[in-house]
A and B are shown apart, each in its own frame.
Chain A
Amino acid sequence: MMTSWQVVSELWYWRSPAWVIVLLATFAYTLAAVTQPVTRRQITCFVIAAATFLLALASPLAVLASRYSFSAHMMQHLLLLLIVPLCAILAWPSSAAVAGDNVAQPPPVGTPALGWLAGVGAMWFWHVPVLCTASMQSSWVFAMQTCSLVAAGAAFWWPVFRPQLHRRMQSHVAAAYLFSGCIGCSLLGIYITFSPVSVCPLYAAGGGASTELMRLVHEQWGLTHRLDQQVGGLLMWVPACMVYLGAILATLSSWYHVPERVGGASRYYAAE
């Protein structure tokens, strides 16, 4: 039988298109970093975004998510929806942002209402049992799912963390936006956790190609189908909310932050 170590060391999707995408993105980002100033924090964010993208789509997690474990599949969704787009937005070079500021956007793009609906809606949409099954059976549906999750995540985070500071949502509005988003995802998580209905019945059917891996997950890890779905629901409910909570605290910290006046504090003191 397979061991857990073999899963971690051997089950990588070396032929996943995710590698190409990350390679191209790294190339583009390096170009941007050479021509425009980027901060160390922005580079870190880019590295996290790229690594998370690979973790979600090319690592053993992706293999597990493909047929073997619903909770791995949920983890994959959370990474694609919450972490990858957030870090990608935070990695955006500031000067490119200023240039992009003047580019006109069609009205609904980048608005909070659309962002909220996309972010929360994508999660609900892809967990309708029929669609969940379809994404596992057809690579085209899977590709669409992946793209739509990243895009929906980007639409969700954009109004809160867009690079143009002055056009971000006001902090207290952002807190309410994030909190309601957290509730929207929690409700789905709670539903999945407690529902006796199988959200993705294919995982129960045990359709994975490798029976060895199947046995490892079910028997050695003890992830029965029921428990697997519970863990998936709880991932959506508790850790996902922690991401929203972290974002709320970040917006609060900028809410308490006082922008420096020209000339610094001493001038302020004198002026008063």
Chain B
Amino acid sequence: MTAGSIANSQVGERELPAGSSLLGWFSSVDHKQIGILYICTAMVFLLIGGAEAIAIRLQLAVPNNTLVGPSFFNQLFTMHGTTMVFLVGMPILTGFANYLVPLMIGASDVAFPRLNAFGYWLVPLGGIMLHYSFLTGSAPNAGWFNYAPLSERTYSSLQGVDYWLIALLVLGIGSVSSAINLIVTIILCRAPGMSLQRVPLFVWMMFITSILIILAIPALNSALVLLLIDRTLGSAFFDASRGGNSLLWQHYFWIFGHPEVYILALPAFGMISEVIPVFSRKPIYGYEFVAGSTVAIGILSMGVWAHHMFAVGLGPAYDVFFAIGSLLIAIPTGLKVFNWTATLWGGSIRLTTSMCFAIAFLVQFVIGGLTGVMFAVAPIDWQLTDTYFVVAHFHYVLFGGTIFALFAGGFYWFPKMTGRMLDERLGKVTFWLMVIGFNLTFFVQHFLGLMGMPRRTYTYGDHPGWFALNAISTVGAFFMGAGVLVFLWNVLRTLRSGEVAGDNPWDAFTLEWATTSPPHEQNFARVPAVKSRRPVWDLNHPDLADWKTSRTPEDRRRPHSAARLASAAFIVSEAMFFLLLVSAYVVFNRTTGEQSAARMLEVSRTALFTFLLLASSVTLWRAEHALRVYDQGGFLKWLGITLGLGAVFLINQGAEYAGLLHRGVTISSNLFGSTFFTVTGFHGLHVFAGLVALAILFVLGKRGALTGRRSDVLGAIGYYWHFVDVVWIVVFSVVYLRVLS
């Protein structure tokens, strides 16, 4: 396959990036090393999650099997799902994005390298925490969506679920930080000429994915903290027997869970959109449509979560609207499939391993998409929910789709990351093992589901046909296991003695191929001119350059403060978090009992302190102004007043809490107490965090380390402080003034 490839510059020995010692990897803030760390960590968890899958399939290989008991089986499928989504899918995609996005846009690194390292190190922390639960005697066993009330202490009294909750919080914080980093990087760090309308589709899809992450993960986080408070402090958010509402967990989880599907799928779409054009020797067909439909998918995905809840009986009105909304997603997704197919059409196709995986992706993803359309129709969902048909459906999307795209991307970018070509012969072996294994395992599960085999049940009776189909499924799983092992062997062998790749072995189009393989620490000696969507093609084929025949919008002015932009993105994510907490307050304070409890609050006193908190926004604004005009004295004075006002607000909140506790209102006494302390407590924590940040700036200002030149730092924290005030206005209106009651 390399016969037609062009190695167009010096094919040198592989250059080790600086600091490649073990300590270098631990302390690295280089986006390439962090990207590889993400990928390697995810591979480790892939082996763990894969082993769990093999164990599940072994148990189900024959009817009435007793290899593992029901309780361990519950732990197996819970850990398999959680691991694959949070410790394999998300980190590996973030890893590829970390490695590739800065290279593709011609940047030397991400906008915040240290934040990047922070985000990565939360992955092993969360992963270890999750798996540590095995040592407590019971790993989480309530399924990957951890439905209440099963996950409440009444029914899951061991600590597995607590570990699950804390681990996911940790991982979620890491995901949000890396998403903010990517958003700022894509907006600010692009090379000259690289307008947002010219970025490679992988970059665009990561951009939309990152926006989805900052909107969706906070929904999960709010659900996690509410359940954690239920389990550890004795509140009853999701405990219907004490007035709570276990359906709320489902809503919150799927507000996160449905966009999550696209968080895992969009980057895969991006990879396919890079691989197919290069191996078809054509630019992507309809770039604008692929990019625009991604936006449509992103927006639609935020509004259709209830189609995961058809079976709970929301009512006919919900079912109709959510069915229509869900069916609509098929339009932009189908559009993408047409565009990829049209790119293949008439291309001079090179069937490299990477391309084979991409084509298999297309076929399998369409199958998974079609069964998805079936599930959007509520009556079909009622019939098939909780059967193996669901298992088949989402494995076609996430395995046949995302994992196959990852293999396509892996074979495609491996030469860039390591400087060596993966062996194509072994690659084809992997490919066939995976395709055959995957379809053996999961295609038959459609039939099992139609026959009514329930998912998440540790064994099954010897019904006609069930044994044969399950046995086929288990055999398939071993094919896939073998495929992964061959792939790992291929990687190890290539790292030792693989063929040297050169800069651009595939004659590819985008900027990452314009530097050495692997790229040196600064990424580019010189970034080529960007005049079209395929700068490296233009460079290597000047006569056929894209910009001569088709024009794309020029690069325009872009914002310049990375700190402010990151702060704004962070605020969006925080707003989502508070939105769900306040919603929980509204949901739980509609009954007369709770409303009479709410009347205990002293509105006029709080109104006074609300005024003080709002005044602190004004004083901070004065401080920002003083700093900008280099009035250091004024800056310190106004910042000092801001700190004082914030502290007074917190002291009052403390006094109010003491009064309520004195009168017997605690977080566990009733739903008013639970929601009141949760909402105002989290707000108080945010005020406290803001005070700490401002105090640091105050000290820096005192020492003369913060002057007008860096006023955007204060500006960024100012955004956050103003946001916290706005949240308080909402909290005050809803909790104290009861405007929604």
List chain A positions with a Cβ less than 8 A from chain B.
Answer: 172, 175, 179, 182, 186-187, 191, 193-194, 196-197, 227, 230-231, 234, 237-238, 241-242, 245, 248-249, 252-253, 255-258, 265, 268-269, 272
Contact = CB atoms under 8 A, between A and B. Distances in A.
Given A245-B300, A256-B197, A258-B553, A227 B288 contact: no
23 contacts: A172-B196, A191-B586, A193-B318, A197-B741, A227-B315, A227-B316, A230-B318, A237-B303, A237-B321, A238-B322, A245-B299, A245-B300, A249-B295, A252-B288, A252-B291, A252-B295, A255-B197, A255-B553, A256-B291, A257-B553, A268-B551, A269-B549, A272-B548
A242 B296 CA distance: 10
Range for the number of chain B residues in contact with chain A: 20 to 34
B552 to A, nearest CB: 7
A269 B548 CA distance: 6
B292 A253 contact: yes
Given A186-B303, A191-B740, A234-B318, A258 B292 contact: no
A257 B292 CA distance: 12
A241 B303 contact: yes
Q: DSSP majority for the A interface? A: helix
| Interface core residue of B321, B547, B586 (most chain A CB under 10 Å) | B321
Nearest to A232: B317
A249 B315 CA distance: 31
A245 B301 CA distance: 12
Given A248-B295, A272-B547, A230 B303 contact: no
Contacts of B552: 256, 258
Nearest to B317: A230
Nearest to B288: A256
Per CB-CB distance, the 10 closest pairs between chain A and chain B, nearest first, are A230-B317, A234-B321, A256-B288, A238-B321, A258-B551, A231-B317, A252-B292, A238-B325, A245-B299, A258-B553
Interface in B297-342: 299-300, 303, 315-318, 321-322, 324-325, 328
A268 to B, nearest CB: 7
Nearest to B325: A238
A269 B291 CA distance: 26
A249 B299 CA distance: 11
A249 B317 contact: no
B590 A196 contact: yes
A22 B552 CA distance: 43
Nearest to A226: B315
A225 to B, nearest CB: 13
Nearest to B211: A179
Contact of B296 (A230, A249, A272): A249
A268 B300 CA distance: 39
A227 B316 CA distance: 9
A234 B317 contact: yes
A158 B321 CA distance: 29
Contacts of B551: 258, 265, 268
B739 to A, nearest CB: 9
A197 B299 contact: no
A227 B590 contact: no
A256 B590 contact: no
Contacts of B740: 191
A256 to B, nearest CB: 4
Contact of B553 (A175, A186, A256): A256
A187 B590 CA distance: 17
Contacts of A230: 315, 317-318
A187 B730 CA distance: 14
A182 B299 contact: yes
Interface string B402-415: 00000000000000
A238 B324 contact: yes
A238 B303 contact: yes
A272 to B, nearest CB: 7
A194 B248 CA distance: 11
A258 B316 CA distance: 46
